Amino acid sequence: MKKLIILFIISLYFNVNIQAQSVEINPQAGYTFRSVYYDGGGRIVFNGNYTYGGSLFFKQDKYSDIGITISHMETTANAYA
């Protein structure tokens, strides 16, 4: 029985590693425009600036993948009462 369990675990390991896997890298770049947000008796003005980042996806099988996305936007805001 112990040999059968070990054989089953080894066969699962090889089945997972034999599948074709892929990696996708997607760069991102853009510009965020100036916007105004009104709240109660005041407003907040967000100044526009460039944005950049990227995504990294590991495809596990034809139905699922794991992704990491990083996005950076450097901007300033002014608040008025």
Per-domain residue ranges of the chain: 21-80
pLDDT at 55: 93
pLDDT at 29: 93
What is the block-wise mean pLDDT of the chain (81 residues), using blocks of 10 residues? 72 56 86 88 88 88 85 86 81
Residue with tokens 């100036």: 34
